[in-house]
Structure 1
Amino acid sequence: MTSDYERQLPHGLSDLFFAEAAQRTALESGLAETFLRWGYTQVIPPTFEFYESIAAEAGTQLREELYRFFDRDGRTLALRADFTIPIARIVATKLYDQPMPLRFYYIGSVFRHEEPRAGRRREFTQAGIELIGARTPAADAEVIALALEALRTIGLREVRISIGQMAFFKALLADLGLAPEQVAQVKAAIERRATAQLESILRALPMADERRHALVQLAGWRHSERWREAAHALCINAQSHQVIDELTEVVERLRASVQADNVLSVDLTALRGMEYYTGVVFAGFVPGIGYDLVSGGRYDELIGHFGKACPAMGFAIGVERAMMALPAQNARLGPDVVAEACAHAECYEQIVAARRAGERVLVDVLGRSGGALRAYAQSLGARVLACRHKGKICEG
């Protein structure tokens, strides 16, 4: 008897074929080319590892989403839920004596037992980079600039980047001396932009009026150019001022290098990944899409858990989410040119030359020509390559 499961997929998985498969492959290729041009080399960690290796460094939520299973010796294994933790292990255990910084990129599937939603299944594709061994504003700016460049390269032209600073906010909360439940209340109020509730919570704490006012202002000034004003008012020592000064340098470097005056904004109350990140954090999105396409930040403590401590900064792009965002911006991933399947060497040379020039050339092997070939090219949003043989155009 045939089981129904033989014809079905587990909840949260999907098949890709035809246009979707081609689009994802094209996206992955475009991202890989961009990472390579910036000097990043590929790293390929295994699809599964010992559960302890992943779970010990994962945050609470990620740990709960791990797919676990047993090998034949009874040892607990887990499917890869992200790339950063395996790369941290590789660097700490195998590459600790290499010249720094190291630059890696990755593209591959990750697996999380979470509720499927728009652009995120239980198996999805991440593409990203890790810049390891540098703790400078220049390194932070490079990582964010590369994230922006990668999304632009695949056709997303209206990307917006929001930048935060986790070290600043962690220091602020530590200085307040809050109990864990109070930290949770403050964090929840800030994430909801509930300034009235935040004001009420802070009034119950031993906190100077000017600092309370500055924190409430900071929560309300999301993406405002006045963030420096409120941030410096909240600084508790010289180190806090330095953190804000370094963030200012990151923003200035980005605006100088990527012509991104209308693309960047600062949100010092972005608290996602608070237990994981240690410095600059950021996320990228496009208007009209209700989720981040890329997110990342500085995680200077992770690699040290596997061996020698080493600063690091990186990001991950959700490839399926990027695929969903592209139609909203009418980006093309099909061929640029359609050519007749001509047997003449001269025509073939023209096709090769067009491909080498960076154009995507599709050869019509069904033998269409003339109006039929033009109609076919038009249906693909492409133009016809007019191949010439002995001075004459081959396509009719």
Structure 2
Amino acid sequence: MEQKLIHTPDGVRDVYGTELRAKKITEKKIIERFRMYGYKEIETPAFEYFDIFSNEIGTTPSRELYKFFDKEGDTLVLRPDFTPSIARCASKYFLEADEEVRLCYRGRAYNNTLSLQGKLKETTQVGAELINDGSADADADVIAMVIETMKEIGFTDFTVSIGQVDFFKGLCDEAGLDDEDIAKLREQISVKNYFGAAEFLSEHNVSQKIQDLLLRSGDVLDADELNALINETENERSKKALLRLKEVYELMQLHGLEQYVSIDLGMLSKFHYYTGLIFKAYTYGAGDAVVKGGRYDGLLEKFGKEAPAIGCVFLLDDIMSALNALGLICEEEVIPEIIEYSDADREEAFKKIAAIRASGKPAYGRHCRK
């Protein structure tokens, strides 16, 4: 029993010393970059009513939530991600706002899932949400901010993959697939199991042309291949999605950041609230994306405000692992100066300690009885 008391539960860990200092410095750099883009920081509760993250809103499955009851019998959950909380908050405090709203946040998120093999169940997230702007310029602005922030925190070799969930959804509608079928196909394509996806589509009597286009949704395209796919696509919803993707890519060229961007139609987020553009940032030293985001134009409507929105989240724990693996954490531990003193020279020691601190260096006293 005594040994158990000093250990943490599975999926959480203690962070301290130079590791924590480096993490806090990186977190601050991200927030400061957000502020340079006009974002204002907001705090939301660590736990919310269950309905904020229910299946109707399309976020984390109920079985993967940390749930508990308050004294009134209401079901509460620890937030699994921030976006629904920010959407609720924006709908409450910015209901009448017509101009764009730029909010950023930092804090912990919690996922109680067995599928995160070796992953933390409590993670630190730093993110931003741009509300009331449904333009391609807003999409490009958020992606540009992600790229500039990645550079700011030390990464030089990384890629931001952009995709469009409406391309996939439009083809599924044309194929006549129901929600259950779409979820199964989404899983196959997300893990790049194209043989399984092809077999699944054949079993559901999907036309060969639509099959070919759906399987193309797993491709990584350049600008010329995207144009060719636009010409091949007849489905209005899917074609519109590709044209929007082309527009965003052209805007990234105007930003001078297209070298960091790739087009990946195989990205299909587990969060069902995404409605259009989605993106992920990848770098060496991390097994998965270190930044995720996308457009969620229908989410705020769930809370009473009709407004387009797009957001991003930096997964700080994964970012720190990547920075460490790449040798990009150069923060050295600052050793405080220790001033020993006795009863007789206490006043002099206090003055000396204060002077050291005033110079910007750490120091503390150690009383030695003589």
TM-score by length of 1: 0.78
Partner SS state of residue 258, structure 2: coil
Deviation at 1:256, TM superposition (A): 2.3
Q: Unaligned 5+ residue runs, structure 2?
A: 338-350, 365-370
AA of the residue aligned to 1:163: I
Partners of 2:272 and 2:77 in 1: how far apart?
A: 21
- Within the candidate set 282, 306, 310, 2:307 is matched to 310
Q: Which amino acid aligns with 1:257?
A: H
SS at match of 2:45: coil
Matched residue type, 1:267: D
Secondary structure in 2 aligned to 1:291? coil
Structure 2 CA distance for aligned equivalents of residues 218 and 45 of structure 1: 36
| Cross-structure match for 1:323 | 320
One-letter code aligned to 1:245: L
* Residue in structure 1 matched with residue 45 of structure 2 by the alignment: 46
- Inter-CA distance 38–57: structure 2 relative to 1 (3 Å threshold): farther
Once the 2 structures are TM-superposed, how far is the Cα of residue 258 of structure 1 from its aligned partner? 4.1
1:203–1:231 Cα change, 3 Å: farther
Cα 1:191–1:232, aligned 2, differ >3 Å: closer, same or farther? farther
Measured after TM superposition, the shift of residue 40 of structure 1 is 0.2
The equivalent position to 2:296 in structure 1, one of 295, 299, 319, is 299
Deviation at 1:52, TM superposition (A): 2.4
Which segments of 5 or more consecutive residues in structure 1 lack a partner in the other structure? 353-361, 367-396
What residue in structure 2 maps to residue 253 of structure 1? 251
CA contact (8 A) 1:42 1:106 kept: yes
State the 1:112 CA deviation: 1.6
Identify the residue that residue 152 of structure 1 maps to in structure 2. Answer: 151
Bigger drift between 291-300 and 70-79 goes to: 70-79
Q: In 2, Cα distance between the equivalents of 1:243 and 1:254?
A: 17
Q: 2:262 and 2:248 mapped to 1: Cα distance? A: 12
C-alpha change, 1:194 and 1:72, in structure 2 (3 Å) is closer
**What's the offset of the Cα at 1:130?**
0.2
Is it true that 1:112 corresponds to 2:111 in the alignment?
yes
Distance 2:197 2:230 in 1: 17
Tell me, in whole angstroms, the C-alpha distance in 2 between the residues paired with 1:178 and 1:330. Answer: 47
Report Cα offsets for 1:79-103 as digits up to 9, x if no partner: 1221111111111122112342000
User: Which residue matches 1:241?
Assistant: 239
Amino acid at match of 1:36: R
Cα 1:199/1:7, change in 2 over 3 Å: closer
Contact 1:218–1:230 (CA<8 Å) still a contact in 2? no
Q: Which amino acid aligns with 1:325?
A: A
Identity %: 30
Q: Contact conserved, 1:62 with 1:81, CA < 8 A, in 2?
A: no
Counterparts of 2:334 and 2:22, CA distance in 1: 17
Give the aligned partner of residue 387 of structure 1: none
Task: Quote the residue 2:11 is aligned against.
Answer: 12
Counterpart mapping for 1:165-204 below 5 A? 165-204=164-203
Instruction: Give the letter for the 2:290 counterpart.
Output: L
Cα deviation for residue 65 of structure 1 reads 1.8
Q: Are the aligned partners of 2:87 and 2:300 in contact in 1 as well (CA < 8 Å)?
A: yes
Give the secondary structure class of the aligned counterpart of 1:330: coil
> Which residue, out of 251, 267, 270, partners 2:267?
270
Which residue number corresponds to residue 88 of structure 1?
87
How large is the RMSD of aligned CA atoms in angstroms? 3.1
Following superposition of structure 1 onto structure 2, how do residues 369-384 of structure 1 map, counting pairs within 5 Å? none
Counterparts of 1:119 and 1:159, CA distance in 2: 23
Contact 1:126 1:317 in 2 (8 A): yes
